[in-house]
Each structure stands twice: as C-alpha cells, then as structure tokens.
Structure 1
Amino acid sequence: MGSNYNLTLQWNQDYYDKLLPSVFLQGAIFLFGFIGNIIVLMVYFFRMKANRDDRYFIPILAVFDLVAGTVASVFYVLESIYFVDFPSTGLCKGLLFAMTSTSSLSALLLIAIAVQRYLKICKPLGDQMDEAKRKICLAAIVIFSIVNSCPVLLFSGNKYIGGEFNGFNVTGWTCFTGSGKYPNYEAIYYYIIFFLMVANILTVAFLYIPIGIQLYRHIKLKDLRRPSMDIASTQFESISESKPSDGSTGEIIRKKTMHASKINFNSMFLTIIIFYLVSYTPTCVFLIISKLNHELWYNISTTEMIIYFILQRFYVINHVVNPLIYGYYDLKFRKDLVSLFRCS
C-alpha cells in the first residue's frame, strides 16, 4: 500500500513539474485581475457615487469578475499541484460549484448589458431598462446561476484514474466535473451546460450585431460631415480672433465632449462583448473534448498539455481584461482613476 502511494506521489510530482508554467501563468492572471477589479470598485464607490444609468452594471460586473476570477484561479492552481492526488472530494465539489455559478453570473450579466445597450441604441424610443427592471434582472441572474449549478455538487468529485509511470502501473484521484457515479445524467447535464454556453455567446453576438451596425453608420456619417465641420471650425476661429468669445463656445465644446464620450461608451461595451466571445469559445470546445475523452490529459506531451490547459482555461481572461477596457474607453473613469490616486 505504502509503495503504491509513493508511486502516486511521484506521478503527481511529475505532473506538477510539467504544469508549473501554467501555475505561474494562472497566478499572474489572478493577480492582474484581482488588482484591476479592486481598482474599478474603488473608483466607482469613492469617485462615481452617483449611479449613472449607463454604468449601473459595471461595478456589479467587477464584483462578479473578481469572485469568478479568484475561485477559478484557486481551483486551477490546486488542480495543477494535485493533478492525480487531489486531497478532498468535498473541496473538489465546492470549488467546481463555486466556479460554475460565478462564471455563470458574469456571463449572464453580459446578456443583460447587451440587452440594455440594444434598447438604448437600436430602440431609443421604446421601453428601456429602468432601475426596477435592472434589479429584477439581477435577482433572476443570481437565482438561475445558483440553481443551474447545483447538479455540479452531485455529479462532480474525485475520480479514480489509472496510468503508467516509470514502467509501473499507478493509480490516483483527480478532481473532475463528472465522477462517474451517474454517467447518463452527467452527460445530459453537461451537454445542457454546453448548449447554454453556446446560446449565451450567440445571444450576445446577435444583440451586438445591430449595435455594431448602428455604430458603424454613426462613424461613417461623422466622417462625411467632418469636411464641412472643419470649414465651419476655421471660420469660427477667424471670427473669434476679432470678437470676444461668449457662452456658446463653452457649450459647443461641452456637447462635442459628451458626444465623443457616448461613442467611447458604446465602443467600450462592444469591446467587452468581443473579448467575452473570444475567451469563451475555446473553453466551450475543450468542455466537449474533455467529456468525449476523459483520459486525454494523461496521453499527451508536456507541451501539448500546457497548450490545452491554457486554451481550456482561456475564459478566465474574460474576468481580467475588463478594467483595462474601462480605462481605455471610459473618459470619466480614467479621470476619476487619476484623481483617486493623486496626492492632494
């Protein structure tokens, strides 16, 4: 018994050595996302206290991303350290449940954001998402995410695996989404999860196609108007050299700034959605691959394993990149971020 367990420990150490680069990468991603989302929350709570309609979901998304990114990083680091010797089936179930539910929260909230942007840009005269509707939507997202993830507590757990190491037959325990106790129900549930992930991606994409078209038309129209605007601007500047400026000058500048800010705001949400689509697609693919071939990870080279693991976990990027997007597109966020850390 002791010699068999020693072989398992050596087998596990071998996998840990192979997966060490992915551990460092996951740690770096976690640190970047944790700091970024904390900064977003600090800016919104200390500088943007007034809940603007357009920004209502941003601090909530930051909380969801913070929790989802933390849980996923903890699980993936533990999985890499204890790849074939996972210490506890209870810990496995708890982490997989938390990871599934928090990722679902973030993904579903992006649908809510897409709906809000669609109504604002494509149906500006129709019904909009007021505060009451947003709260109902948020409650529905939380309830659905928890209920939808509950079967993970039943199906997941430590799974017995066997292999060969240094010419010896070895056995171990790995944390897996399907422990094999209810294979038929597990298959049905995880195919439903895959379908929901694809449906989520397609829903967000289809909502943002007309938004993107509207933005494109708006930018093209702006480009067509620019020559006449430049002529008018030149005339205005020559007049202003001979006449004192009045209050209308400040009003023109203010309107142009607000206009540019709105374009940036729409582009910001479009970029968030694009990153969501790109980051979740590999995860969907590898969810199916891992279900079709449970032994895949134990029969490939070290390089292939690292590449596959990075692609399988690529969705975590979605929880990390949003603070950078806010900083790039949201002019007020950028200004308040600077003022938050500026010495008074």
Structure 2
Amino acid sequence: MKGKEERYFIPFLAVSDMLTSVVGSVNCIMLDVMQTTFTNNILCKIVFYTIALTAGISLFLLLSIAVQRYLIICRRHRLNLNSRKIMVAVSVCLSVACSVPFAVNYGVNEHFSESRLVGYRYGRLKHGVYLSGLVYAIFFINLMLFTVLALVFLYGRVGWVIFKHFNAQKLKQTNVSKETSTAEKLPNDSITNNLQSKTQELKNTDGSYSKPAVNPEWKNDSSIEPTQSSDVYTESTVPECSSSAAKNGNSTQPKRLKKTNRSKKRRRFKNKFTLMFILITAVSIVCYMPVGMVVLLEGIFPDFWERLSETVAATVLWLYHTYIINSIVNPIIYAFMDAEFSTALKALFEKCKCSKYYSK
C-alpha cells in the first residue's frame, strides 16, 4: 500500500466506524422502539457499554491520528511501527476503561408521566448510584472537552504550517517564473550582440562592405558561409554553440522538472491527507458534543427525561444519537478525498459486477 505509514490508522478507524454504525444503529432502534417497555436490566447495561465502547475507540483513534499528523507535519518526526501499535492499543484500553461506568450507572428505571407510572425506561439509574453517576458525568464531559481542545490545538498547528507552506510555494513559483523569463531573454540578446559586432567588424569606414580574404583551407569549411542577401560573412559556429548549450540545458531541465513534480505531488498528497483528517475530526466534534451534554445533564438530573415534553424529548433523543452520523459520514469523506481509497472502492465494485455477469 502506498503511503503505508500515513495510512496505518485508517483500517482500524474504518473497522471502528463500521462497528459503531452497526452496533449503535441496532441498539438505538431497539431502545427507541421500547422506550417505556424495556424491562431487561442486564441487556440495557450491555447495550450502553457496547455503544460507549465502539464510539470511544473511534474518538481516541482520531486523537491518535491527530498526534501523528502533528509530529509529521510540525515536528518532522515519524513514529515507528511499535509506537503506532502502542497508540492503537492505548486507544482501545482507554475506551474500555471509560465505558465501564456506563454499565454501572445505567440501567432500567421506572418511568413516570404526570406522577403516574407509565412503564420502564432505559437510562441513567435514579437511585443508589447518584454520586458515582454525577462524578462520572463530570469526568465524561471534561474528557470530551479535553479531547476537543487537543484536536483543535493539534490540527490548528498543522493547518497553520500547511497555510504557510502554501504561501511559500506561491512566492517561490512567482520568483521562479520571473527568473525563467529573464533567463530566456539573455541568450537571444547575447547572440544578437555577437552577430552585430561581427557585422560591424566587416563594415568599412565608408559604409561599404568588403569581403575578407578567405584562406584556401577554409573554402571547404562549412563553418564559414556567405549569406544570400549580401557578401557579409558570418560565423555559423556562434549559433551552433548557443544551440548546443541550449540543448544541454534542455536535457537537464526535464530531470529537474520531474524531481520538482514528484516532490510537489508528494507534498500535495500529504497536505490533502491531513486536510481529510481535519474534516473528519471537525465532523466528529460536531456529532459527539451533543452526546456529552446529554450525559452531563443525565448525571446532574436523574429525572432528566421525565422533565421533558414529548416534542423536546424527541429532539434531545435525536441529538443523543448524532454520534452515528459521524461513523456514516467518515467513509464518504474517505471516498471523496482519498484517491487510493476511491480507486480500491471502484475496483471492488467492478469485481462485483464482473462476478454477477459471469454468474448469469
């Protein structure tokens, strides 16, 4: 795979996004359908734990990718394979540790509406674990704020370096174009001046031209030729020398252009790859922040859902599930901004089409 080091985290992030999309969608549909008829306490704890686990892995992997991009772009430091493996393992372990309190503090509660029992609902437990639930809610929102600030700082530094690089490239291209135009004019001017000086030497003081004495040995020499318009003799070796020098210059120029184009292509790939992760991170922040706010409100107010009207509860419930949007949008961003990913995806679809065609 091209750019293997650059793409090391992508397979893990893709698997995590896929699990988050599948697990989150199935669990949320099940919970939404049985909002007041959910009675299995153990299943409720498993559902919340798996949702938090898969979503947490995605978020911590994004933080690991931000650290890697910061080190590559800003510090010119590349992580070795062991360091990247450790970062993936730490992301999984942190997600497991941060998801355990969901299994402790969440379960099935009696749900009241207008002081009347209407059923049983999943969510933050109201009794017995209020203090631990409050502490975890505060810890959870602080962890999310720290993650967001870290992502903003890291990608802010990366974006600033890329911005300065683009400005430097524009200035460099402007200077190179000016130097190229100046260099193109110089050989023509020098040849013209040389020819004028040769012509002036052959011109007499009275304004007439005289044919210089030609050595018999030069008669068959092709380097001295009479012009058809006059008797002035010019040395054809001058333009020949200049043309040979130009040929030598032109022969080395494609090599320089190839090297320049290759380095530009490499930098363009690196910058586009970084911008792709900046966009993915921005979408993740927008999708995860509402979830953090709802978890904080659940920790402070155990009867948070009972205080809401049906319309407001439906809106808050939709915000509670926005993390799934992040896992769905990420592959779309890969497809549009990662050329190798889109090429592999097209090849996969072509193989599927061919297999269907031959099966018929």
Could you tell me how far 1:303 is from its partner in structure 2?
4.0
| Code of the aligned partner of 1:276 | S
Per-residue CA shift, 1:240-292, capped at 9, x if unaligned?
A: 9xx78955554444333223212211111111211122222222222223334
The residue number in structure 1 matching 2:94 is 144
The question of 1:290 aligning with 2:298 is answered: yes
Tell me, yes or no, if the aligned pair for 2:40 and 2:108 is still in contact at 8 Å: yes
The residue number in structure 2 matching 1:206 is 153
Per-residue CA shift, 1:164-187, capped at 9, x if unaligned?
A: 4xxx93431111133533211221
The residue number in structure 1 matching 2:274 is 266
The residue number in structure 1 matching 2:72 is 120
Q: How far, CA to CA, are the matches of 1:261 and 1:235 in structure 2?
A: 32
The question of 1:72 aligning with 2:21 is answered: no
Per-residue CA shift, 1:299-327, capped at 9, x if unaligned?
A: 54554333322222222222121112222
Of the structure 1 ranges 149-158 and 224-233, higher mean CA displacement relative to structure 2 is found in 224-233
Of the structure 1 ranges 183-192 and 291-300, higher mean CA displacement relative to structure 2 is found in 291-300
The question of 1:169 aligning with 2:116 is answered: yes
Q: State the aligned residue count.
A: 290
Tell me, yes or no, if the aligned pair for 1:157 and 1:179 is still in contact at 8 Å: no
SS across alignment from 2:116: strand
Q: How far, CA to CA, are the matches of 1:159 and 1:293 in structure 2?
A: 14
Per-residue CA shift, 1:206-236, capped at 9, x if unaligned?
A: 2222111111111222233343456688999
Q: How far, CA to CA, are the matches of 2:55 and 2:109 in structure 1?
A: 23
| Code of the aligned partner of 1:162 | F
SS across alignment from 1:191: helix
Q: How far, CA to CA, are the matches of 2:306 and 2:15 in structure 1?
A: 36
Tell me, yes or no, if the aligned pair for 2:111 and 2:306 is still in contact at 8 Å: no
The residue number in structure 1 matching 2:15 is 63
Could you tell me how far 1:122 is from its partner in structure 2?
1.0
Per-residue CA shift, 1:3-46, capped at 9, x if unaligned?
A: xxxxxxxxxxxxxxxxxxxxxxxxxxxxxxxxxxxxxxxxxxxx
Q: 2:46 aligns with which of 94, 99, 108?
A: 94
Structure 2: runs of 5+ lacking an equivalent: 185-245, 355-360
The question of 1:327 aligning with 2:345 is answered: no
Cα 1:291–1:155 change in 2 (3 A) is: closer
The question of 1:52 aligning with 2:60 is answered: no
| Code of the aligned partner of 2:155 | Y
Could you tell me how far 1:83 is from its partner in structure 2?
0.6
The residue number in structure 1 matching 2:315 is 307
Tell me, yes or no, if the aligned pair for 2:110 and 2:117 is still in contact at 8 Å: no
Q: How far, CA to CA, are the matches of 2:271 and 2:183 in structure 1?
A: 25
Could you tell me how far 1:52 is from its partner in structure 2?
0.5
SS across alignment from 1:321: helix
Q: How far, CA to CA, are the matches of 1:80 and 1:234 in structure 2?
A: 69
Q: 1:182 aligns with which of 129, 134, 141?
A: 129
Q: Structure 1 length as normaliser, TM-score?
A: 0.74
Q: How far, CA to CA, are the matches of 1:57 and 1:70 in structure 2?
A: 20
The residue number in structure 2 matching 1:221 is 168
Tell me, yes or no, if the aligned pair for 1:96 and 1:177 is still in contact at 8 Å: no
What root-mean-square deviation, in Å, do the aligned CA atoms of Structure 1 and Structure 2 show? Answer: 3.1
SS across alignment from 1:185: helix
The residue number in structure 2 matching 1:155 is 105
The residue number in structure 2 matching 1:276 is 284
Q: How far, CA to CA, are the matches of 2:182 and 2:148 in structure 1?
A: 49
The residue number in structure 2 matching 1:132 is 82
Could you tell me how far 1:56 is from its partner in structure 2?
0.2
Could you tell me how far 1:342 is from its partner in structure 2?
3.1
Greater Rg over alpha carbons, structure: 2
Q: How far, CA to CA, are the matches of 2:180 and 2:318 in structure 1?
A: 52
SS across alignment from 1:341: helix
| Code of the aligned partner of 1:218 | H
Q: How far, CA to CA, are the matches of 2:183 and 2:41 in structure 1?
A: 73
Q: How far, CA to CA, are the matches of 1:183 and 1:119 in structure 2?
A: 42
Q: Structure 2 length as normaliser, TM-score?
A: 0.71
SS across alignment from 1:129: coil
Higher helix share: 1
Q: Percent identity?
A: 27
Per-residue CA shift, 1:64-95, capped at 9, x if unaligned?
A: 11112222112211121001111411111101
The residue number in structure 1 matching 2:324 is 316
Of the structure 1 ranges 212-221 and 226-235, higher mean CA displacement relative to structure 2 is found in 226-235
